[in-house]
Amino acid sequence: MGGEVMGGEAGRGTQAAGQGAHAAGTTAPGGAGRGGPGGTGGRTADGAGRAGAVGLVCAGALSVQFGAAVAALLFPRAGAIGVVAMRLTFAALIMLPLCRPRVRGHSRADWGAAAGLGLALGTMNTLIYQAIDRIPLGAAVTLELLGPLVLSVVAARRAVSLLWAALALAGVYLLGSSGFRELDPAGVAFALAAGGAWVAYIMLNARVGARFPKADGLALAMGVAALVSAPLAVVSAGTALLDPVTLALGAAVAVLSSGLPYTLDLFALRRIPQATFAVLMSLMPVAAATAGFLVLGQDMEPVQLLAIALVIAASVGAVRTRPRTAAARAVDGAPPT
């Protein structure tokens, strides 16, 4: 939730090796992912600075998932599609004035990449919100994480990657044996599809980052996602979108899931390496399970918590495994709920 920059649930802007997403958008501005002045990143930060940066990342992860939990509370009012549209629209209204991207002078290929990213962003958010509407938040985000995990394993092309794949499969098996049959099959399918959309988001985000300066491409993509989702929301939710309480909660979701975490990530990435950030993003299912328990009252059994732990371990291992090829290494450091 998915994650996830100013962007989507599980698609947060600065995910390394595809972990969280939940986020290439935050590495773009000013090369923040490579550090502050001098571009040395976390290597120049002292221990206290790194510890503070880790705290910022964890706070951002919790913000994303608590935003997803608040979004789930909004579903009875505006539906999953309506909530997605409100989140993307409010996020675009925040990001476009802040970034003030240049709209002239771009090639057709540039606009195609930005539009593709916007469609991937909207699809990713729509799918994960459909999943959250049907299955517990922790389970949804765990299943969504499998998409970036598969990308990391494939990109690494190393034998040890098979271990991470086996750990992930063991986690999914435990999640299934401890109540998978009780999960709505459609919700499971939506979560897995959201993981696939997350992969598309990662690949397109890297392409947009190479074509646009700072976060301009992501801001434009956010505008595209908002424009595409708005008509669907009108058809789905209708006049419910005009309710002041619904709009206020939708704005809160956008701030919790987009504005606040992306800002925290931006500051954190000036103090810690992208690889460290990626490992921390792998803890997203823990944040999701916590938010689901505290806000939505969704309990998880010990076996299900063990399943989440196995998927997290596989994700951390995949991120830490050095890719063989230059093309695969380009994925490392790329990128909501």
- Give the integer Cα–Cα distance in Å for 54 and 213: 27
Q: Could you read off the pLDDT of 54-77 as tens digits, one per residue?
A: 788 788 888 888 988 888 888 888
Quote the pLDDT of residue 189: 92
Mean pLDDT of the chain: 74
Quote the pLDDT of residue 211: 86
How far, rounded to the nearest angstrom, does the alpha carbon of residue 42 sit from its chain's CA centroid?
Answer: 22
In this prediction the pTM is 0.71
Tell me if residue 16 falls in helix, strand or coil: strand
Quote the pLDDT of residue 178: 55
Q: pLDDT confidence of 127, banded at 50, 70, 90?
A: very high
Q: Could you read off the pLDDT of 229-245 as tens digits, one per residue?
A: 888 888 877 777 788 88
pLDDT, mean of residues 138-159 = 77
Q: pLDDT confidence of 336, banded at 50, 70, 90?
A: very low
- Give the integer Cα–Cα distance in Å for 75 and 65: 15
Q: Could you read off the pLDDT of 209-222 as tens digits, one per residue?
A: 788 887 788 889 88
Percent of the chain clearing pLDDT 90 (strictly above)? 5
- Give the integer Cα–Cα distance in Å for 67 and 258: 9
AA letter at 14: T
- Give the integer Cα–Cα distance in Å for 6 and 222: 8
Evaluate whether 69 touches 133 at the Cβ level (below 8 Å): no
Cα Rg, the chain, nearest whole Å: 18
Q: Could you read off the pLDDT of 21-35 as tens digits, one per residue?
A: 333 333 333 333 333
Q: Could you read off the pLDDT of 174-228 as tens digits, one per residue?
A: 766 655 557 788 998 999 999 999 888 888 877 887 888 877 888 898 899 888 8
- Give the integer Cα–Cα distance in Å for 182 and 99: 44
Q: Which of 280, 277, 319 is nearest to 32 (CA)?
A: 277
Beta bridge partners of 11: 8
Instruction: Count Cβ neighbours within 10 Å for each residue of 99-117 and write b for 16 or more, e otherwise.
Output: bebeeeebeeebeebbbbb
AA letter at 137: L
